[in-house]
Amino acid sequence: MFNAGVYDVIVIGAGHAGCEAALAAARMGCCTLLATISLDNIALMPCNPAVGGPAKGHLVREIDALGGEMGINTDKCRIQIRMLNTGKGPAVHALRAQADKKAYQARMKSVLENQAKLEVKQMMVEKILIQDGKVTGIQSETGAVYETKAVVLASGTYLQGRVIVGDTFYTGGPNGQRAALRLSESLREAGISLVRFKTGTPARIDKNSVDFSKMTLQPGDEEPVNFSFLSPLEKKPQLSCWLTYTNEHTHDVIRRNLHRSPLFTGQIQGTGPRYCPSIEDKVVRFPEKTSHQVFVEPEGWDTSEMYVQGMSTSLPEDVQVAFLRTIPGLEEVKVMRPGYAIEYDCVVPTQLKLSLESKGVAGLFTAGQANGTSGYEEAAAQGLMAGINASLLVQNREPLILSRSEAYIGVLIDDLVTKGTNEPYRMMTSRAEYRLLLRQDNADLRLTQKGYEIGLVSQERYEKFSAKREIIVREITRLKNTVIGPTKEVLEKLSSLGTAGIRSGLSLAELLRRPDVTYQLLSVYFPDFPEISPEAAEQVEIDIKYEGYIMKQIQQVERFNKMEQKKIPSALDYGKIQGLSKEAQQKLSSVRPASLGQAARISGVSPADISILLVYLEQYSHRRETT
């Protein structure tokens, strides 16, 4: 055994969760080690090199607002950027970028390497060392032991990873990497339950073998925006994506070969995600659909590899080539890497606290796909929170828990640890109850203060943010207090603005609420408009236009918070509470909710159980006060 060093925090895995965890810990002042199976695969995007989209884009903005890296890294390395859902309301605007896969990795690696207090090492971790229910270190396959107070496990799809292409299968991680074969055992020994999930990716094809003339161009936005609140607005050259469709011939090829699919032969045991079905799954489940969309997307500036979105598959390689060649534009296609499915172990997330720390092993945090999620953004969000909370633990500070009413990150983690998941979990805007409050445009207003308080947000970012916040408040007040009357001059302005006239006095804020009036228009026609940034102007406009709906959601949040604020002591013995149903007793004992609100979200816990719990808790606190 080789005593290789002592650290405050050790992060296992350098994917999207691991990178955020390690950076957060080091930036919060912890002496941090990032252990990875391969230094050449840091921040790898083994599936589509795309970041963002509905809810996922929200997560990236939140990561950025708290001082994480994903937003900045994507802005630096993007090859295309689009704002989706622009017609569906501000709460669901969704930024989506295509990244240069290699550039993304290279830049992230360089950020890690240059981060003070952070060491990055290549190793295969075999064991998590635990004493008296507390993490004490890790051990690598070469016998090196690293001591630590906190471990963040961000093992992605590498735990007992198994790759399946048709009838061929082998143990391994994505892209021909080694799998972590011993760590699962170490976790089980620590009393942690694991489940087996599955995910997959489509083939990569050679750009030079594609006939783009048969496809529809999908260009990026002409006025690009950024994920990070810090990135400068700049127009950079972009690459286009392409759209084509499957047809009945494609589906015929698939149907004829279904018997060779590992999903049907039973080779695949793990549970796959519903939102990311393989093409064979789609053909079987929706037989009435005669065609499916296929997006052909570039993977970077310096590669001819292209991603075939919508065609994820684990059918044998010859079938993949055959069905791809039925698709317009892909008749002559050359496959550079076949699509595959991968099975892996992950932690049952209901074993975690809201801080992402294991309930059973103090100091052990888990994050990302290792917790049963899917997606780079979901992983990065958990990695960031695990890194933050591991650091706070080491520093003897209270954990940072984001509520469902504060952030998508809060929704994500609460869903995972309260309800668990029986398929790889993907974030969606429909999972958030208070969507109108949790917009991607106001992530900084929601979270940067918190990031600053825990020491992750830099002084520079904080000052920039404070100034913006002040400008917004001042401008909203001004618009509410500026009243215009029905004078000839005003009426002329309104008419050239293209909106109806007024009969009596009206504030500019009320005028802005009209569907046909924008802040920008007002600033052209009315005097004394201050010079404010487009981002601040956007906040002013949304705050005023949607005030009624925002208020409605704030009231919902107030009701919600009453239950969230009723804390449950972690040592509570549910078996002793008379009147609770058996099912509720079991579920509550296993999840150990932190608040009554969280308890109420556990399936199998009824409103009556919650009432009983409430009474019991009052009794409990009363007893403590009197003794």
Partner 1 sequence: MTDTISGISTPLGEGGIGIVRISGEDALKVAERITQLKANISFSSILSHTIHYGFIAEPKTGEKIDEILMLYMKGPRSFTGEDVVELHCHGGLIPVRSIYELTIQYGARPAEPGEFTKRAFLNGRIDLAQAEAVIDLIRAKTEAGSRAALTQLQGMLSTKIKGMRHALLEMIAFAEAAIDFPEEDIEEITTAQIAERVGVILTQINNLVSTAHSGKIMREGLYTVIAGKPNVGKSSLLNALLRESRAIVTDIPGTTRDVIEEFINIKGIPLRLVDTAGVRETKDVVERIGVEKTQEILEKADLILMVLDASLPLSKEDRTLLTALKDRPAVVIINKTDLPIVLNEKEVTDIVPTKKIMRLSVVEKEGLQELEDYLVSLVYEGKVTGGEGAIITNARHLYALQKAEGSLSDVLQTVGDQMPVDCVVVDLRAAWEALGEITGDTVGEDIIDQIFATFCIGK
Residues that bind partner 1 (CB under 8 A): 48, 53-55, 84-85, 87-92, 94, 274-277, 281-282, 285-286, 289, 292-293, 295, 309-310, 312, 419, 428-431, 435-436, 515, 546, 549, 552-553, 562, 578-579, 603, 606-608, 611-612, 614-616, 618-619, 622-623
Q: CB-wise, 11 or 50, nearer to partner 1?
A: 50
- Taking alpha carbons only, the member of 500, 448, 445, 506 closest to residue 479 is 506
Q: CB-wise, 154 or 436, nearer to partner 1?
A: 436
- Taking alpha carbons only, the member of 518, 424, 358, 335 closest to residue 156 is 424
Write the single-letter amino acid at 121: K
Q: How far apart are CA 469 and CA 520, in angstroms?
A: 19
Sign of the alpha-carbon dihedral angle for 270, 271, 275, 280:
positive
Q: How far apart are CA 459 and CA 457, in angstroms?
A: 7
Q: How far is the CB of 217 from partner 1 (least distance, A)?
A: 15
Q: How far is the CB of 275 from partner 1 (least distance, A)?
A: 6
Q: CB-wise, 92 or 506, nearer to partner 1?
A: 92
Which residues on neighbouring strands pair with residue 159, listed in sequence order? 180
DSSP strand E in 100-174: where? Answer: 118-122, 125-131, 134-140, 144-153, 162-165, 168-171
Q: How far is CA 22 from CA 218, 248, 441, 503, in A?
A: 36, 48, 26, 61
* Contact (CB, 8 A) for 92 and 463: no
Q: CB-wise, 232 or 607, nearer to partner 1?
A: 607
Q: How far apart are CA 202 and CA 181, in angstroms?
A: 25
Q: How far is the CB of 558 from partner 1 (least distance, A)?
A: 11
Q: How far is the CB of 276 from partner 1 (least distance, A)?
A: 5
Q: How far apart are CA 624 and CA 618, in angstroms?
A: 10
The contacts of residue 453 (CB under 8 Å, 6+ apart) are none
Q: CB-wise, 474 or 514, nearer to partner 1?
A: 514
Q: CB-wise, 388 or 497, nearer to partner 1?
A: 497
Sign of the alpha-carbon dihedral angle for 46, 165, 248, 265:
negative
Q: How far is the CB of 306 from partner 1 (least distance, A)?
A: 14
Residue owning tokens 């606290």 = 353
What DSSP string describes 232-247? Answer: PP-----PPEEEEE--
Q: How far is CA 376 from CA 32, 74, 286, in A?
A: 22, 12, 28
Q: CB-wise, 422 or 487, nearer to partner 1?
A: 422
Q: CB-wise, 85 or 449, nearer to partner 1?
A: 85
Q: How far is the CB of 430 from partner 1 (least distance, A)?
A: 4
Q: CB-wise, 256 or 552, nearer to partner 1?
A: 552
SS3 521: helix
Q: CB-wise, 446 or 468, nearer to partner 1?
A: 446
Residue owning tokens 């955020």 = 20
- Taking alpha carbons only, the member of 202, 341, 346, 160 closest to residue 268 is 341
